[in-house]
Amino acid sequence: MNGTAAWSLSRPLIVPPMLRITVENSQQSEEFTLPHGKRAELGRLVTAADGVLDVWLKDSACSRNQLRLTELPDGTVLLENLSANVSIQRPSCPPIAPLGELSLACPFSVSAGATTVSVDRIAAPVRGSLRQSESTASSLHAVEQRISPTQFWSGKVSKPDAELSQESLLDWFSALIAVQRSAAGSTDFYREIADATVELVELDYSLVLLRSEGRWSCVAANGVDQSAATWSETVVQQTIHERRTFHGPLDDLGPVQSLAALDAVVAAPILSVDDLVVGVIYGARKVQPENVSHDTDSPTGVSALQAQLVQLLAASAATGLARAEKEAEAARFRGQFEDFCSPELVRELHNNPRLLEPSERSVTVMFCDIRGFTRLCDQLSPSESNVITTQILDQIAECILRFEGLIIDFHGDGIAAMWNAPCVQHDHSRQAVNCAAQIQRNMSRLRTDSQNPVQRTLKVGIGIHTGMALVGNVGGSRRLKYGPRGTTVNMASRIEGVTKHLGVDVLLSADTALQANVELPEGRRIGRFQLAGTDNTVELFQYLGRQPVQYSPEDIRRFETAVGVFESGSFQDADELLKAYLASISSAGTDSVADVLIKEIEKRSRNPNETHPSHIQFHTK
């Protein structure tokens, strides 16, 4: 072919098309590519599992976890509404109800909140789509392995044409360091790459190409106007398909018109951490008048070593982009957990995400509930009651984080928290008890300082239990919610409910009291109770504080003696002991637990022939 190169298309390897997901709202217009066989999850604070594309929606009207997309074997796409509140709207069709699902054929558009999500198909990269016929005299070479850094090799001659000087090596390293130091995603970052490509490989121009809104666009250029930059789709697509760096001299490529005026090109892929091409560094050298004749001895082309340098620049760009993505991921991670656990725990979780994997372990669970909340809502407007409730819940949440607990959930007028997960805390029971004590001190100050007569009567009931639980994602397959699951959680909730029946602030299970080393006079044993919805009994302790002011150690001993007599079945003797105990503390006030025990004795005395258990039963929470 008279020394010229002829290019032909080989039989392409058939690759399934990919899904293109377009997200549009007032704050974002983004496009994402979903490879065949992968899933995507979209939401305001979504955190998908490994191997699942997570797309954050900048829309406060959407749920934290809103939508999951899964390509089915028949080519349709399964839409799962992950939200329990927000419906997914469809143009001129019934919506997808919360927690509902529907299969649709591409293309389609749906909306949630103020966000529109469009899904269509695009062709996947076709490997091996470009080759040079056997009779060609020149070719694009792929960088297959590490090149010796001591020599340049011309694309047209078979001997070293220049020794790599120490100055050249220093220039290379300086350029790489400059790229690494630049902030990924900034204009300077991409311009550093384009400048280094031209200056160090001696090209006429270079481009940094990134995929944006479904198209490849030039984000930086050197040697050519960025807005008017053009590149060879043939070379770029080959680089994308093969995910390798291509380089070489160019003679006459016939129908490849975009290369007709070029002497040489080089293209290196910028790869993401999951080995997808997210960008391309593209450089070219134009045909010079003195090189029009094929008889010239002037070196042309891009050598393998120069191509290796461009590949190093692409690797530096990929490192910068990965760093930026990691920082963004860390910010998302912090946004998800910083409101629920301490900054120290957030850092540990970020350093070791495996801590969130399901595991069975001993945990201490605490439930807090605002007493008198119904009365508060009846006497105040919704906005006024909301202000007071928020103030109290903020105080409780602050205490939980201060004592290194993890907030499990906010439930109406209360909060649930746990200790010893996801990180091990050897003193977790003690931390929970100390947290409860601080909450009660804060509540006392709030009541004293408040000018609102309703708020001055509000109290917080706290129940704490220590036991085994399965900790991990308890939100189900459609929603991420880290926390405990099992009997321990239910028991802590029921214990908190008993504080209401007994008129006390803090109750501990015997397991918690033992592990936290709660002893007289810090706490007192008040007996065994069968809680609502359970068949088993639990031994409870009332937490009084490190320096209780309402009862002396002798008072507490007399009370515990009366409780023991009650549990032995000597109800008449227990009644006499309790009344004598109340008489001895009359100057300090009343004892609501003793009052409950006396009422229980009076109820049992009305049926003397009936066999009564040694514990007290509560049928409602």
479 Cβ contact list (under 8 Å, min separation 6): 64, 65, 82, 84
Cβ(247)–Cβ(264) below 8 Å: yes
Is omega for the bond preceding 422 within 30 degrees of 0, making it cis? yes
How deeply is 616 buried, as exposed, middle or buried, from its count of CB atoms within 10 A (0-12, 13-18, 19+)?
Answer: buried
For 93-154, the DSSP string reads: EEEE-TT-EEEEPSSEEEEETTEEEEEEEEPPP-TT--EE-TT-S--PEE--SPPPTTEEE-
> pTM, whole model, 2 decimals?
0.53
CA distances from 145 to 142, 148, 224, 307, 574 (A): 9, 10, 31, 11, 89
334 band by pLDDT with thresholds 50, 70 and 90:
low
**% residues pLDDT > 90 (the chain):** 32
Q: Is the pLDDT of residue 132 over 50?
A: no
Q: Is the pLDDT of residue 318 over 60?
A: yes
Distance, in Å, from the CA atom of 366 to the CA atom of 507, rounded to the nearest integer, reads 10
548 Cβ contact list (under 8 Å, min separation 6): 521, 522
Q: If you average pLDDT over residues 530-547, what whole number do you get?
A: 90
Q: If you average pLDDT over residues 498-523, what whole number do you get?
A: 95
Q: Look at phi and psi of residue 347 and say left if phi exceeds 0, alpha if psi is from -120 to 50, else beta.
A: alpha
142 band by pLDDT with thresholds 50, 70 and 90:
low
Higher pLDDT, 16 or 126: 16
Q: For 471-490, what is each residue's pLDDT tens digit?
A: 887 655 445 567 898 999 99
529 band by pLDDT with thresholds 50, 70 and 90:
very high
Fold classification of 357-517 (topology level): Alpha-Beta Plaits (3.30.70)
Q: For 235-257, what is each residue's pLDDT tens digit?
A: 888 888 778 888 766 543 444 44
Q: Is the pLDDT of residue 202 over 70?
A: yes
Give domain limits for the chain: 18-122, 131-325, 357-517, 549-621
Q: Which of 124-128, 498-502, 612-616 has the highest mean pLDDT?
A: 498-502
Long-range contacts of 605-614 (CB under 8 A, 24+ apart): 605/571, 605/572, 612/569, 612/571, 613/530, 614/528, 614/566, 614/567, 614/568, 614/569
Q: Which of 130-134, 184-188, 250-254 has the highest mean pLDDT?
A: 184-188
Residue with tokens 């945990």: 363
63 band by pLDDT with thresholds 50, 70 and 90:
confident
Token readout for 588 is 């300090």
Q: For 404-461, what is each residue's pLDDT tens digit?
A: 998 888 887 899 999 998 888 999 999 999 999 999 999 999 888 877 777 788 899 9
Distance, in Å, from the CA atom of 321 to the CA atom of 331, rounded to the nearest integer, reads 15
Tell me which DSSP letter residue 357 carries.
S
Angle of CA points 357, 363, 369, to nearest 5°:
110
Q: For 556-586, what is each residue's pLDDT tens digit?
A: 999 999 999 999 999 999 999 999 999 988 7
Q: For 546-562, what is each residue's pLDDT tens digit?
A: 888 788 899 999 999 99
Q: Which of 46-55, 449-458, 499-508 has the highest mean pLDDT?
A: 499-508
- Range of weakest confidence among 49-53, 114-118, 194-198: 49-53
Fold classification of 18-122 (topology level): Tumour Suppressor Smad4 (2.60.200)
pLDDT at 507: 98
85 band by pLDDT with thresholds 50, 70 and 90:
confident
Report the residue count for the chain.
621
pLDDT at 49: 67
159 Cβ contact list (under 8 Å, min separation 6): none
pLDDT at 13: 40
Higher pLDDT, 478 or 369: 369
pLDDT at 187: 61
Cα–Cα nearest to 19, from 86, 105, 138, 111? 105
**SS3 string of 154-182?**
CCCCCCEEEECCHHHHHHHHHHHHHHHHC
**% residues pLDDT > 70 (the chain):** 75
Q: Is the pLDDT of residue 6 over 90?
A: no
Cα–Cα nearest to 155, from 256, 35, 251? 251
What's the half-sphere exposure (Cβ side, CA atoms, 13 Å) at 388? 29
What is the CATH number that goes with domain 131-325? Answer: 3.30.450.40
Token readout for 502 is 């007994």
CA distances from 111 to 65, 75, 367 (A): 14, 21, 38
Q: For 253-303, what is each residue's pLDDT tens digit?
A: 444 445 556 778 889 998 887 778 888 999 988 876 554 444 444 445 677
36 band by pLDDT with thresholds 50, 70 and 90:
confident
pLDDT at 148: 33
164 band by pLDDT with thresholds 50, 70 and 90:
low
Hey, which residues does 269 pair with through a beta bridge?
280
Distance, in Å, from the CA atom of 305 to the CA atom of 509, rounded to the nearest integer, reads 72
Three-state secondary-structure class, residue 484:
strand
Judge if 131-325 and 357-517 fold alike in CATH terms.
Answer: no
Distance, in Å, from the CA atom of 549 to the CA atom of 565, rounded to the nearest integer, reads 26
Phi first, then psi: give them for residue 597, nearest 5 degrees.
-65, -40
Q: How far is Cα of residue 160 from the mean position of the Cα atoms in its chain? A: 53
Q: Which string of b and e fits 314-323 if b means at least 16 CB within 10 Å?
A: bbbbbebbee
Higher pLDDT, 234 or 146: 234
Q: What mean pLDDT value characterizes the chain?
A: 79
pLDDT at 340: 65
